[in-house]
Structure 1
Amino acid sequence: MRLLAFARPYRLLFVLGLVATLISSGLNLVFPALFGRLIDASFLRVGSQDTGPLDRTVLGLLGIFALSACFGAAQAYLLARVGAGVVADLRRALFGHLLTLSPRFFGDHKTGDLTSRLTSDVGTVQTVTSTALAQLAAQSVSLIGAVVLLILTSARLSLLTLAIIPLVIGTAIVIGRRIRRVSREVQDAVAGANASAEEAISGVRVVQSFTAEAQERGRYGQGVTRSFLAALRRAQLQALMSGTMSFLAFGSLALVLWYGGRQVMSGALTPGALVTFLFYAAQVAGTVAALTGVFNQFQEALGASGRIFELLDERSDLPQPATPAPLGRAEGRVAFRAVDFRYGGQPVLRGVNLDVPAGQVVALVGPSGAGKSTLVNLIPRFWDVTAGTLSIDGRDVRDYALADLRAQTGLVPQETLLFSGTVAENILYGRPDASAAEVEAAAQAANAHGFITALPEGYGTVVGERGVKLSGGQRQRVAIARAILKDPRILILDEATSALDNESEVLVQAALDRLMVGRTTFVIAHRLSTIRNAHRILVMDGGQIVADGTHEALLAAGGLYRDLYELQFRETESAPTPA
């Protein structure tokens, strides 16, 4: 029923398609009556030279066939157009809704499962909303019309024919429920296999480096086998339903032929009337068989649509304020007050208190798992605090609209994600309405203009999926240019230079130094140069800030920072430069 809401914009097309269906199916109902007349006009007039009735009947049949074909084509196109429109809107709605969900949701769901719902499940619904919808309308009209004309032709024979309808309905309900359940299992199994494939393909270098191809083939193969076995069970149920319906429908035809033949022999029926009745009975049988197939398709679609609406019913755990506070150009003051954060029931941050004035550069250091990334990811509300408050410019971040808040924050992560468009398109991602001159200025500030102009198509060069055609340093500089163009007031650098070689690090660090000027900046530190340039350094351990000060003051105070410095940063300083 919820799918009908998506059909509302196409109700005019649907009504026109329904009218075409009524006319086409109605014309098809006239054919058996004319064919019966044709039989009587020829077989009962043996030896007659008057072929007028026969000629007129044949011309009438040709005219009906032509009109039926025209309206049938119109019906097929119009209802297919409705189905395609519904599915396109459903895909847009589903994808748009997914983009509103929080990172917590995506952490709990596999990417392959989500893409399977967006493609495979919606594709299953498309089959129903286009082809099956037209079939349902046409066959329903044919069934009702044929039953009425059967009764008008011969009431006794009609009773014999219609006796199978309760059996047909009962069979459809019993087996249909099982088909729906198994169809859901098929979709789940396909989604699981897609998730395995997605992980293996996106991490193909790791797979190949560990020579784990056989392992991944086996994992994907298990998913495919599960989907195959589920599909096999569904096919068995569909075959059982189809066979049962076919036997009931055509078995009744055999009984009609037997009883009708006796009626003709006794003179109660003419041969033409029996032929007409047989055609109508065949229409009923064929319509019932067709509706059985449509019913199977609807059961599959119900399983798929259940998975789709399950996603549409998901609600973000980051609620938007009913009346958002205005946030124009933020100053960039950030304050944490007694902030706790738990993930999956486990404490990640505990009692964090921090005041960062506008324009200050703050570095965060600490062992792995100390809570550094979690702390900075609370600022753009990728997660919400479990307790306490986080404010920007003196107001709780939950009072701002998410779009306004995130417009004031920029993120340059360690693993840069570029989209599979051109270099210019990736830079414009920060501000789509920027001019070409602004894009070039951002690239120059990011030390990226030189290598971009050296590319085959310059700014129009396609970077490949995830920017695979660029080096790590080049991807990072494009990401920095994107952040410069966005011009955020609060900047988050999550180990932005840790994975680069020395030459790339120098270029990227120079670009980052320009980017940080005048902005409140949080740097998850890895390189010593970033640590020393920060206004202050926060040392984190066990989800708490255990020290706060400058590089020199923290070294003099000893403790965890000195330990980290001696273990990591001194090695960085003393490491020999490659020849």
Structure 2
Amino acid sequence: MKILAYVKPYKKKLIVALIASVLATLVWLAVPLGLRELLDAVFDDGDMALLNRVTGVLIGLFISQALLGFWGSYSLDWIGEKIVADLRKNLYEHLNRLSLKFYSNQRLGEITSRLTNDVAAIRDAVTGTLSEGLTQSINLVGSVVLMVYLNWRLSLIIFVTVPVITLAVRYFGQLIRKLSRDVQDRLADTTAIAEEALGAIESVKSFAREPYEVGRYNTGVDTLFDTARKKVLFSNLFWSSVGVVFMSTMIVIFWYGGTEVLAGRLSAGDLVAFIFFAFNIGRSMGGMSRVYTVFSSAVGASERIFGLMEEQPDVEDHPDAVELRDVKGAVSFEDVSFHYEENQPVLRDINFSCKPGDIVALVGPSGAGKTTLLKLIPRFYDVQKGTIRFDGTDISTVTQQSLRNQIAIVPQDIQLFGSTIRENIRYGRLDATDREVEDAAKFAQAHDFIMEHPDGYEAMVGERGIKLSGGQRQRVAIARAILKNPNILLLDEATSSLDSESEAAVQLALNHLMKSCTTFVIAHRLSTIQNATTILVMDNGRILEKGTHQQLLEQNGLYRRLYDIQFHKETVTDNEI
């Protein structure tokens, strides 16, 4: 299994732990032999001194076994927990490396389930079965060898039972393994349903769809229960069958061993030791069966986890990628074409350039490709054709980290973290001081509403910023962008959720920020972009018109039609008021 690669850093500790566990098991196997000597000393020899010595040895064996067993089990469990912690870290790091395209094709709930439920299944297998599998294997083999040594004829009874139990383990193990994998899949489905609904709880409530979402989740849980019920049924059927076979075997051993003792071919101590070893075998096979069951669940989980680990980012740094530094802000698109899906072009032959400090506005009907064009600038996706350059440098030749460090984005759909307002603003620059955070909030016209809250900047915004209004969330996001002090600023309807008074105030802050960087802005309200250096009018993935506000009005094309429609609507609204 690939999980074994995670063991390598702890090889020395593992060897010591295995030695301790092996010694503890060997000591345990010596206990029945000590019991045999103790009983024979009492019943056959009547030797009190021997009885005392054997008793002392047995106490020493128990103490040694306990100490060795503790150290071996603790060390193996420590290694198991550390392996799982490393796996969890690596998986999360890998998930952060994957491109946006991966997340657009995946349900977030399923990914979360892999990171939590599947990793937990592997943890149970690694921590709980690593030591148990080893000790039970040694216990089983050692008990069999010593049983043959004590009485090979009596051992034949166990040897008839073992193949039967082995076949049962193989049959039920394969079945339980498949059902375990199905349970994890159903669990991922229900997690995804819950996360989708709770993440969009406002929409759920606005459409009064609580009963629908509860029903959808209940259906998923019922499917999960039905699969889990089958797993529990076959698991318990297996254990019951093994129990019947094993206890029947023990009764036969008692009977036949008793006849051997009566015939003088076996001492009472030998019989007790033999029965002890027989129980050892039963316990070991039961333990190994549990190991197999947990291991089967972990195999399915590991297949899904390492399937995720094998996913490769669609956007990767070139092996010779360099750091992008000292960006002035000149941006150019040269014959750029892009699609998300084959034969479904989103952008076609995009050509334009802008100078440092320019304001480039993107306008056009919905679906024209404006947001997609913005996503290509920080290289969230790679273009299929053409080149995007910053100050003449092809952005595909620089590291993604250094590229995105030059850019700040204020999207239409604001994404805040469920922490404090201060921490959300500081996300723009993690080493910013409290004073710098507050100055950024003041520029974004957010300081006043923040200070109205009893906790001020330490106020919790709630999951995805649910405790803030849309306009407040947007101002926090703008403050975050201001704090980053970028060379390239991307605004996707950044003031769409603000009232007229707040929009005017925030626009002043944005104008201040825009003076120090190149800005790309998507705006449906054309009145907000009249001062743009260049306006790109887009439709159906192409740039149809290019120029200033006045130049585009004079061309009497799509921009003029959009402007006249908006101007007419605003006039009608004002007259109605």
Instruction: Give the TM-score category using the shorter length.
Output: over 0.9
Query: Once structures 1 and 2 are overlaid, which stretch shifts more, 328-337 or 287-296?
Result: 328-337
Residues in 2 aligned to 1:336 and 1:169: alpha-carbon distance in whole angstroms: 67
Q: Which residue of 1 aligns with 2:264?
A: 267
Q: Is contact 1:325–1:401 with CA below 8 Å preserved after alignment?
A: yes
1:207 aligns with 2:213: no
Moved more, 134-143 or 199-208: 134-143
Deviates more, 1:249-258 or 1:227-236: 249-258
Q: 1:90 — aligned with what?
A: 87
2:465 to 452, 467, 480: 467
Cα offset for 1:118?
A: 0.3
Where structure 2 has 5 or more consecutive residues not aligned to the other structure, the ranges are none
- Cα distance, 1:574 vs. partner? 5.8
Asked if 1:514 is matched to 2:506, the reply is: no
Q: Cα deviation per residue 1:421-452 (whole Å; 9 max; x = unaligned)? A: 22222222122122333323322322223333
Q: Supply the AA of the counterpart residue of 2:540.
A: G
User: Which letter does structure 2 place at the counterpart of 1:181?
Assistant: K
Looking at structure 2, the residues matched to 525 and 340 of structure 1 have their Cα atoms a distance apart, in angstroms, of: 22
- Looking at structure 2, the residues matched to 571 and 210 of structure 1 have their Cα atoms a distance apart, in angstroms, of 29
Q: Which residue of 2 aligns with 1:496?
A: 494
Structure-to-structure mapping, 1:441-452, within 5 angstroms: 441-452=439-450
Correspondence for 1:20: 20
| Counterpart for residue 56 of structure 1 | 53
- Amino acid paired to 2:400: L
The equivalent of 1:9 in structure 2 is 9
- The alignment partner of 2:170 has SS state of helix
Q: 2: distance between equivalents of 1:295 and 1:224?
A: 26
The alpha carbon displacement at 1:17 in A equals 2.4
Query: Mean alpha-carbon deviation: is it higher for 301-310 or for 434-443?
Result: 434-443
Q: CA 1:104 to 1:296, structure 2 compared with 1: closer, same or farther past 3 Å?
A: same
1:487 partner amino acid: N
Give the corresponding residue for 2:284. 287
Taking structure 1 as reference, are residues 201 and 577 closer, same or farther at Cα in structure 2, changes over 3 Å only?
farther
Q: CA deviation at 1:327?
A: 1.2
2:408 is paired with a residue of what secondary structure?
strand
SS in 1 for 2:329: coil
Change (3 A) 1:488 1:573: farther
Q: 1:399 aligns with which of 380, 386, 397?
A: 397
Match of 1:35 in 2: 35
- 1:337 and 1:400 mapped to 2: Cα distance? 17
- Residue pair 2:474, 2:497 contacting (<8 A) in 1 also: no
**What pairs with 1:365-376 in structure 2 (closer than 5 Å)?**
365-376=363-374
Alignment partner, residue 382 of structure 1: 380
Gapped runs of 5+ residues in structure 1?
Answer: none
Q: 5 Å matches for 1:287-436?
A: 287-345=284-342, 346-436=344-434
Q: Is the 8 A contact 2:133 2:291 kept in 1?
A: yes
Q: Give the Å deviation of 1:363.
A: 0.8
Residue of structure 2 aligned with 1:480, choices 457, 478, 481: 478
Distance in 2 of aligned mates of 1:577 and 1:510 = 28
SS of the equivalent of 1:418 reads: coil
Deviation, 1:33, is: 1.4
How far is the alpha carbon of 1:120 from its aligned partner?
A: 0.6
- Aligned equivalents of 2:570, 2:20: Cα separation in 1: 77
SS, match of residue 329 in structure 1: coil
TM-aligned CA deviation for residue 482 of structure 1: 1.4
Q: How many residues align?
A: 576
Alignment deviations for residues 213-269 of structure 1 (CA, whole Å, 9 cap, x no partner): 111011111111121112122222322332333334333333333332222222111
Matches within 5 A, 1:168-317: 168-317=165-314
Q: Which residue of 2 aligns with 1:77?
A: 74
How far, CA to CA, are the matches of 2:508 and 2:224 in structure 1? Answer: 52
Q: How far apart, in 2, do the equivalents of 1:325 and 1:69 lie?
A: 58
Against the structure 1 CA distance between its residues 577 and 244, is the aligned structure 2 distance closer, same or farther, given a 3 Å change threshold?
farther
Could you tell me how far apart the structure 1 residues matched to 2:213 and 2:470 are?
A: 27
Query: What whole-Å deviation, never above 9, does each CA across 1:26-57 have from its counterpart, x for those lacking one?
Result: 22212211222232233335xx5x53333333
Report the TM-score when normalising by structure 1.
0.95
1-structure distance, mates of 2:54, 2:88: 50
Shift of 1:578: 12
Give me the whole-angstrom Cα distance separating, in 2, the residues matched to 1:60 and 1:391.
Answer: 81
Cα distance in 2 for residues equivalent to 1:481 and 1:546: 34
Q: Distance in 1 between matches of 2:575 and 2:469?
A: 20
CA offset digits 1:181-233 (Å, max 9, x no partner): 22111111111111110111011111111111111011111111121112122
* Structure 1 stretch displaced more, 411-420 or 468-477: 468-477
Distance in 2 between residues matched to 1:573 and 1:149, nearest whole Å: 99
Q: TM-score, normalised by structure 2?
A: 0.95
SS in 2 for 1:81: helix
Shift of the alpha carbon at 1:576?
4.1
Where do 1:559-578 residues align within 5 Å?
Answer: 559-572=557-570, 575-576=573-574
Contact 1:439–1:485, Cα closer than 8 Å, also in 2: yes
Structure 1 vs Structure 2: percent identity of aligned residues? 44
Q: How far apart are 1:151 and its partner, in Å?
A: 1.8
Within 2, Cα distance between the matches of 1:177 and 1:577? 75
Kept in 2, the 8 Å contact 1:491–1:521? The answer is yes
Change (3 A) 1:500 1:578: farther
Instruction: After superposing the two structures, state which structure 1 stretch, 97-106 or 147-156, moved more.
Output: 147-156
Q: Secondary structure at the match of 2:7?
A: helix
Give the superposition deviation at 1:569: 4.7
**Contact 1:250 1:285 survives alignment (8 Å):** no
Provide the rounded CA distance (Å) in 2 between the counterparts of 1:518 and 1:574. 38
- Alignment equivalent of 2:103, drawn from 106, 114, 129: 106
Q: 1:9 corresponds to which letter in structure 2?
A: P
For 2:572 and 2:12, the matched residues in 1 are separated by 76
Say which is worse superposed, 4-13 or 382-391, in terms of deviation: 4-13
Q: Secondary structure at the match of 1:375?
A: helix
SS at match of 2:530: helix
CA change 1:162–1:490 in 2 (3 A) is: same
Match of 1:523 among 521, 524, 530: 521
Query: 1:352 and 1:250 mapped to 2: Cα distance?
Result: 79
Q: Match of 2:393, as an amino acid?
A: R
The one of 121, 129, 145 equivalent to 2:142 is 145
Quote how far apart the aligned CAs of 1:533 are.
Answer: 2.1
Change (3 A) 1:317 1:267: same
Q: SS of 1:340's equivalent?
A: strand
